[in-house]
Structure 1
């Protein structure tokens, strides 16, 4: 506990996926939320006007066949053991089983393979190509869930890339060139989600990510810094249709943007 008689908590991303934010109230460190304002209510005056565009791409025939096979293995195991994956406790129970049950480990691996296939779907790159050509005069950040995909995009489209492996000096140089306009786009995994000052961008493209509202809000925030041009920012979200990404997309957008 602290000796301060009064305590005030300020944050742009209060909720956590693991519900740990509830501990603030339960432990008495900070009381309940007394005031909050949605992003939409700040847009136009304190933040840039913005729009979100949700795009879905089909898996190729080979990708669909592989995805259905791997996802089927995962779902069969989960359904057989009746894990309630809608609750954090249910998923933790599933993970606990994977530590001693070979079928459980196979199910976990199958889930990870299915997720990776959806995250890196071939047609996502085709859609990305179209968007980068459309926004070639804009300042664009491409968000991915892992380093390998970020590097693949960097090589495919000849754009600078920042991951947690990028040395500090190199990262600083890339961000400075992005700020001055020498670089108009860059690819990144999760390292730019928070904690690093990123120059103003007006286009964000999410190719993959978690179900975390916190991560989604941070990525949206990267394109909402007001600029002299006052042009609306755009956040694109590209997901593989009829995959786990549909659920992930819905979860992370809840309560962050209007109508989600």
Structure 2
């Protein structure tokens, strides 16, 4: 009788025994097609979904590989019906194909004619397709390429897009590799993306996603539009491109709230692109301002809905999404899949860590009690008020002070959600505070002071969740978060994972109030990191403070 780490169930759940000697290998093997749902101490629960299986199929995995993985690691016989369902679900991908026809331009072609008949009878495809060329092929207007792919995913028949791309306006871009070279996984990510045409590259924070973007630009050798989260991120991209490529500062434009430059490489913020004037998106002309050959989406897991709508019209352009996690709390992973493209490359965090490219990290959850005087007020509070009460508990201040003292001499970030809590903490520990209200210039000044070691502790709001390069940070203390956001937890851990000069371990602390929604949300936030192989050690705050 095999004694594998996995229990495969007919309801499409997979139960992984964390302490099993094969657990790490099994986790890596199922990651391309299974999504982690729950990650308590001993048994992690994964689920098989159509989108996960189609993503694996688009990335080159076939049903045989998925089935063999389950058979290899399963402790008990795998339900036959589930294996059949996996094969049939994965076989749905690619029965419809978007192709470039020599006479009719863009067409939707079916290798299975009844499938085409089925989707054409749907009201959702009305207006997206034109006349039939023959019984297996129908004309598609180029402007509907993205919208049609969205609809087909929702109908359960995801199309394989083989229609190709326009080259866009040529612009010479090369990597400047005199003093550095791409890491093997970065080069592999670029090659895999370029071969696939469009899609998403998933790499841990600190693993050099910007370098992958620069590598893709060097392949395209064309005008490039880069969409980023904020102005600080835009300027970091500009500085990195000047450093790593043959581009000059004059060739790179910033399109943000403060500047409106359109150049061969233009870096635009989500905020300015999605801003409206009298109900109209006034900056969409940027998408047509040049004949872009490549569009880069930084932090693709954070793309706002209007950017998806814009992207639906950009299907003839090569598109590269960059992210540390494809988890979206709004459930729009299918939009990323259909409009940006499937996952083309995914490097597990622990694999990159073992190669020395990101720092090893120790995750600790510090649990404290809600003061007795507040327990009745918490119990009788409205549900929407309970999280704020629990996550801003004053007792967290003493824990933060203790942790900063424990890591004296190390660069430390204190991260939270609520501004009044952060203002109190900044004053209590004597550290500068960065929030959304902090000007871009002041943020850059404080971040630079932190990088240079002139500032040892920074208190930051969620503006520092993403796209902030602070390689010296080695300790992060999280006091509150955006409810149960898995993507935010990953981003916050990522702030401290740049490899350290002395090779030391990074420390990530989540300070949580037990027996409250603060603890419930913390457990949910930790799911993605658990999938990557990170385990949280639980420490009692009283025991921690007693060490002082």
Q: What interval of TM-score do these two structures reach, taking the shorter chain for normalisation?
A: 0.7 to 0.9
Offset of residue 35 of structure 1: 4.3
Per-residue CA deviations over 1:43-70 (Å, capped at 9, x if unaligned) read: 1411001110111000111121211111
Matched residue count: 219
Mapping 1:29-40, distance limit 5 Å: 29-31=340-342, 33=343, 35-40=345-350
How far apart, in 2, do the equivalents of 1:29 and 1:43 lie?
A: 28
Q: Which structure would you say has the larger RCO, counting Cα contacts within 8 Å and 6 or more residues apart?
A: 1
Equivalent of 2:366 in 40, 51, 55:
55
Aligned to 1:184: 456
Contact 2:415/2:476, CA 8 A, preserved across alignment: yes
Aligned to 2:332: 20
Offset of residue 135 of structure 1: 0.9
Matched, 1:137 2:409: yes
How far apart, in 2, do the equivalents of 1:132 and 1:126 lie?
A: 10
Partner SS state of residue 136, structure 1: coil
Q: Which runs of 4+ in 1 moved over 6 A?
A: none
Equivalent of 2:352 in 35, 42, 47:
42
Contact 1:63/1:121, CA 8 A, preserved across alignment: no
Q: Which is higher, the Rg of structure 1 or of structure 2?
A: 2
Mapping 1:106-255, distance limit 5 Å: 110-210=382-482, 211-255=484-528
Which moves more between the two structures, 14-23 or 194-203?
194-203
Offset of residue 195 of structure 1: 3.0
Matched, 1:4 2:165: yes
Which moves more between the two structures, 204-213 or 4-13?
4-13
How far apart, in 2, do the equivalents of 1:176 and 1:29 lie?
A: 34
Per-residue CA deviations over 1:52-92 (Å, capped at 9, x if unaligned) read: 0111000111121211111xxxxxxxxxxxxxxxxxxxxxx
Offset of residue 111 of structure 1: 2.1
How far apart, in 1, do the equivalents of 2:522 and 2:424 lie?
A: 23
How far apart, in 2, do the equivalents of 1:130 and 1:151 lie?
A: 18
Offset of residue 114 of structure 1: 1.2
Q: 1:24 to 1:229 in 2, by over 3 A?
A: same
Q: 1:169 to 1:28 in 2, by over 3 A?
A: closer
Partner SS state of residue 237, structure 1: strand
TM-score (structure 1 length as normaliser): 0.79
How far apart, in 2, do the equivalents of 1:215 and 1:158 lie?
A: 26
Q: 1:229 to 1:4 in 2, by over 3 A?
A: same
Offset of residue 165 of structure 1: 0.5
How far apart, in 1, do the equivalents of 2:426 and 2:339 lie?
A: 46
Between structures 1 and 2, the one with greater strand share: 2
Per-residue CA deviations over 1:163-216 (Å, capped at 9, x if unaligned) read: 010112211111111111111111011000013333420000010102111111
| C-alpha RMSD of the superposition | 1.8
Equivalent of 1:65 in 376, 389, 407:
376
Where does the alignment leave 5 or more consecutive residues of structure 2 unmatched? 1-144, 147-163, 167-196, 202-322, 537-548
Where does the alignment leave 5 or more consecutive residues of structure 1 unmatched? 71-109
Contact 2:415/2:478, CA 8 A, preserved across alignment: yes
Offset of residue 34 of structure 1: 5.1
